[in-house]
Amino acid sequence: MRDVRMKGFAERVDVEEVEGFLVDHTRVCENEPVELVECVGRVLANDVRASVNVPGFPRSAMDGYALRGEKTFGASAYNPIRFDIVGESMPGHPFAGEVGKGCAVRIMTGAPVPAGADAVVMAEVCTEEGDHVEVTEPVAPKKNVGVIGEDIRDGDVVLRAGRRLRPQDAGLLSSIGVAQPMCVRRPRVRLVVTGNELLPAGSTPGGSKIVDSNSVVLRGLLARDGAELLPFEILPDEPGPIEDAMADPDADIVLVSGGSSVGKEDYAPQLLDRIGSLDFHGVSMRPSSPAGVGRINNTLVFLLPGNPVSCLCAYEFFAGPSVRGMGGRSRAWPHRQVRMKLSRKIASKVGRTDYVRVAEEGGGIVPLATSGASILSSTVRAVGAVIVPREREGMAPGDEVDVLLYDDESREPAS
């Protein structure tokens, strides 16, 4: 096994170089039919064209009486016009006959307007007595009638490829009879979390053991980005199990959390270099400088640092866009961005990209005093993050900056 443990740190690459590499090497997953009731959140693979009209019949827009509109002209409270009731039309149970002159059919909202009728007069201006109804307001032909194809016409393109389906989109697909829309397959992700010191999530920390939090964070991020998570377990710091997990043939993407730096038990970079290609190891960024990227056949492998904030940062910069891209989604940051004013300066260094956690204070934002990569609570106290590009030597008080909000629902600072 060739020793590459110091390679990445001797020659750190720029964030933009890694991002460009990933754009070039991220393939979109193949298409698959998806059950209609499970398609919300999936990305549509093809344009959907309607093969039916919606509605497929003229239907009533309200409860009332279907009749010939011209026969109501002149009706008023002082001069009601009487129509014979010859039947009723209900949703799913239309009137089978034809409405003649001087006749009306009792009708409910959504029910088919029978042949011979061209308007619906609302029940509020009618008085029904026995087998006839008196109308006290005129109604014009076509009034209160939904025409064939009013919602969707046969041949219309109703949804375009690349759309992330919303609940109302699924409802529209149902209305035109699409049972299994073709969607981009969700990328399958193998999560490889290593560490002899780790206890499973949900455990109580004790002694020299710490509880795994990275897998919990990564699971949430992967769910947000539309991935399918393959079976997962915490692995010991041993080359054999780590290699087997990294080489999972079912995975489109492998995320290795921990064991990715240059320590004695950081096996992942060496293993990746031996069984695949270690394309980058060490990035000019803070935090997450030990991050790495490589490939095993067609599978992208991301080496995410074990420190929680570094793990989160490396995922957001590199793995997240690739997961979304494979699933047909936009590679762009999924966070809502707002422009806010800095109340205190952000210190940085030219040539390095900084991911700075910020909090709200006095109507502006300030960098959190705690910047350690292991302080996960800082991401909870923060409202979001500011990215300082490598060409800038920090940001000054009063500067307007883009803030990537952690929580799109609220901008209230944590108490």
What is the rounded average pLDDT of the residues 337-350? 93
Peptide bond into 287 cis (omega under 30): yes
Query: What confidence tens digit (pLDDT) does each residue in 187-220 have?
Result: 999 999 988 888 888 889 888 888 888 999 999 9
- The structure tokens listed for 298 are 């067609």
d(CA 183, CA 43): 5
Q: What is the pLDDT of residue 412?
A: 42
Q: Which residues pair with 304 in a beta bridge?
A: 257
d(CA 269, CA 293): 9
What is the rounded average pLDDT of the residues 38-43? 96
What is the rounded average pLDDT of the residues 113-137? 96
Helix ranges restricted to H, 163-293: 167-175, 214-224, 239-246, 268-275
Q: Mean pLDDT of all residues in the chain?
A: 91
- The structure tokens listed for 10 are 């001797």
Q: What is the pTM of this model?
A: 0.84
CB 310 within 8 A of CB 357: no
- Which homologous superfamily does the CATH classification assign to the domain defined by 337-405? MoeA, C-terminal, domain IV (2.40.340.10)
Query: What confidence tens digit (pLDDT) does each residue in 47-92 have?
Result: 999 999 999 999 999 999 999 999 999 999 999 999 999 999 999 9
Question: Helix 268-275 vs helix 239-246: angle between axes, to the nearest 10 degrees?
Answer: 50
d(CA 337, CA 340): 10
Q: Output the CATH code of domain 59-146.
A: 2.170.190.11
Query: What confidence tens digit (pLDDT) does each residue in 368-397 have?
Result: 876 566 677 888 888 999 999 999 988 999
Q: What is the pLDDT of residue 408?
A: 57
Does 345 score more than 80 pLDDT?
yes
Q: What percent of the chain has pLDDT over 90?
A: 78
| DSSP per-residue codes, 121-159 | EEGGGEEEETTEEEE-S---TTTTEEPTTSSB-TT-EEE
Q: What is the pLDDT of residue 237?
A: 85
Does 262 score more than 90 pLDDT?
no
- The structure tokens listed for 134 are 């008196």
Does 410 score more than 60 pLDDT?
no
Q: What is the pLDDT of residue 361?
A: 87
Peptide bond into 141 cis (omega under 30): no
- Residue 107 confidence class, pLDDT cut points 50, 70, 90: very high
How is the chain split into domains, by residue range?
7-30+186-326, 32-54+150-184, 59-146, 337-405
Q: What is the pLDDT of residue 7?
A: 44
Does 409 score more than 60 pLDDT?
no
d(CA 108, CA 90): 6
Does 146 score more than 80 pLDDT?
yes
Backbone phi and psi for residue 361, each to the nearest 5 degrees, phi listed first: -160, 120
Q: What is the pLDDT of residue 413?
A: 40
Q: What is the pLDDT of residue 5?
A: 40
**Tokens 């609570």 identify what position?**
377
Fold of 32-54+150-184: Molybdopterin biosynthesis moea protein, domain 2 (3.90.105)
d(CA 136, CA 77): 5
Q: Which of 340, 337, 341 is nearest to 397 (CA)?
A: 341
Query: What confidence tens digit (pLDDT) does each residue in 227-245 have?
Result: 999 998 889 888 999 999 9
Who's near 110: CB < 8 A, 6+ residues apart?
59, 60, 91
DSSP 182: E
Does 144 score more than 60 pLDDT?
yes
- The structure tokens listed for 105 are 């059919």
Fold of 7-30+186-326: Molybdenum Cofactor Biosythetic Enzyme; Chain A (3.40.980)
- The structure tokens listed for 112 are 């088919």
